[in-house]
Chains A and B, each alone.
Chain A
Amino acid sequence: MSNYYTDIPEIKFELENSPLMQRIVELKERNFADKDQYDEAPQDVADAMDTYDKVLDVVGDIVGNIVAPNAEAVDAEGPHCENGRVRYAEKTYENLVAMRQAGLNGVTMPRRYGGLNMPVTVYTAANEIVSAGDAGFENIWSLQDCIETLYCFGNEEQRQKYIPRVCKGETMSMDLTEPDAGSDLQSVMLKATYDEENDCWRLNGSKRFITNGDSDIHLVLARSEAGTRDGRGLSMFIYDKRDGGVDVRRIENKLGIHGSPTCELVYKNAKCELCGDRKLGLIKYVMSLMNGARLGIAAQSVGLSQAAYNEALAYARDRKQFGKAIIEFPAVAEMISNIKARLDAGRALLYQTARYVDIYKALEDIARDRKLEPEERQELKKYSRLADAFTPLAKGMNSEYANQNGYDCIQVHGGSGFMLEYACQRIYRDARITSIYEGTTQLQTVAAIRYVTTGLYSQVIEEMLAQEVPAECQAYVERLRAMADKFNAAIAQVKEAQERAEAAGEDKNNVHDLCARHLYEMAGDTIMSLLLLQNAVKCPELFAKSLQVYVNLAEADVEKNSTLVARMTSESIDSYRQA
């Protein structure tokens, strides 16, 4: 009888304690025009906030009483491939039925299509809650998010055809990866040809590593322009399983997220519809799809970190050695405090990112109906840029934290943790994929580094440092100022090293790419420290301890990365090259 939302007050805090939230609700509800048409629509901001809280209570209840108790059985059974179709683990169906009965589908979609019209921020909370119960099931459920891309780029006929189905609980998948096109999606070769006779597109070829690949509605990246070899020849298609033509050849046997079927798909002249414009598949639509998915993985990672914390804490309180609970030993307590600190810091970054995404998406949506005012256009531009900068940071940092937290959680369990009898081993295995799929941490760095070099992160850090804090927190501001200085100095060092390389006729990108990860981590550490400071100022009961522990960790991490950047820029980088 636990509730994965009400048991964790930090989530409610994140939802309710940002000055941006009021703006998000106003934009999303557009003067609350829906209230006269839909019984379930909110009357005002306070009413909407109350509804979000109650909806998450339902999510927490379902996860606590159905999804989490099912997780072990789902992990053990996993899905099966039968006659080209996926059969989920038995308990996965139970989870899906519960989510459908609760109406937790199409969470962010407008009401006119049957959706709940809730902000991405609230959906993100639901996502982390589901993930804390079962990260594998979270994949299947949260792929509903693909509908955002169809909503943004599909035509009205496609919206009316597909969105209500997703709101009723049909599942989705995004078919991107192929055997020779993983991180490098420009190499996608799945062939899309126009069938003149039947006036439709046809897909032929195969895809690999497709999460929930036997879903009801697929978004497919395929090569529509014969003879092309790069990203500009790719388009996005919608495949409806009701039309048939795509079979599952096999399901991968994986280290973790066993409940989530990872499929190899075969397209045999499968009928499909073009979504949006030709040739914009990768350049525009997949980028949108991936940004949504990356925020989803960040939420999944935070959920896993929460689960790691819960398991570590419960075990350490219960387990006695040398006559006392092991949580009494500082070495064990430190591990658990570190998990909690990374969890709270990562969660603060997750929700800040979600709020940025909400504001720009809601403005983009308004722009579909009317011309934006100049200040609205400014606002859209600002938050769109912040969302682009924060998404890879939230995904990369949180997924690495989930791995570290899963590792520490097993360590707290000692030998018992290595046996397959405690949940910690599943959390550890499930966490491993988060820093790989939807772009590895290395690729998150690639996406984020331009915001390091253009100074966007530094600017955000400056703005946050300038905010007023109570006198007792002033010491933190000074420590964070020192971290920011080291970050800025490291950026300058890399730039100088690039100039030296260029002057010497060498490739200036080498030193930049080598240092990128370290600059990225410094940005993440500093921004998360500042976000946690803001939280602790508002609610010391929840965050004061985490703030202290996290800033200790972050300070040391910034120092480490600062040293590495200094070395890498001053010494020969040949040592970092393996033949």
Chain B
Amino acid sequence: MRCVAQFEVGYTGYLDHEFRVTGPLPEFAREPAQLIAAYRAMASARAFDRKAINLQRTGQLGTFASCLGEEAIAVAVGLAMRPEDVLLPMYRHHGAYLSRGVRMAELLAYWGGDERGMDFQSVREDFAVAVPIATQAPHAVGVGYAFKYRKEPRVAVCLLGDGATSKGDFYEAINAAGVWELPVVFVVANNLWAISVPRALQSRAQTLAQKAIAAGFEGEQVDGNDYIAVRDRLDQALERARSGQGPSLIEALTYRMGDHTTADDSRRYRNAEEVEAWRRRDPLDRLRGYLLQSGVWSEADEEALQVECQEEADQAAQIYLERPPQPPASMFDYLYERLPRAYAEQRKALAGPSDI
């Protein structure tokens, strides 16, 4: 038998968890202001996360999916994209939305059970979170096709988890993106756990990145807890997509440091040592450690930032909590552009005579 095809899957990491630089840094990372901005966004995303969990624990928010530990991926996606690009995320990576200008109060509204939360006042074309796993991947194909059809230099970025790569939707989407060479970047945040099912039970494939190869395009791994690595590879993938060179898949290796959601208890299926080991690779610690070591960040800066982030999250919670709820009959008002006559009677029954 002769070999008819051969493939490689690359891995990129720049900072190890002892803050050492392991290779020549990309251009943007030599600019402290860029890294500080990213670090601030990650800290802000974490403060948001903490606030959301507190609100849920005190009965003021619905079930919430924490992003704890995956902030480098979320923020890198948000900051690497241009405003005119379109994000198609799963439900966990709040920092991606926040870095694109979505308000914390909007996200709290959604998780608090108010549809208005996904009516973003910025990034109007970004998709709402996909809750059914991988269902946003075919949407990204449609969005990418629209960009290509209209000859617009824009990119669709699809954020998925490791579990999503087992789904038909994922395979169907990467396959089609490959066929049509669409401007789509698939980012797989591989946090090693799909609720209680570990990565090893999800797929026998050595990497998830290699699934892209079957779809005819490049797949690669990055250290998902190294902001510099994720951002660098995303920049490259976005540039390729924007310049007509087709889709990419980035598997970002990370760890879900929290429970799946506030309704989950991960102690039932994973041990504390594993969680502890990953805590030492915390993406915020990593970038902060590097900034401190480089002398561009100080403990005083850090303290000020923490206060600022806390205030920002508190203010967002305040706005969220003070917002009056929608009237019940609003459940009819966005079903169709104009409510068909067939629904009028039901709406009236719900609204009552005073609210038509």
A and B from one complex: no
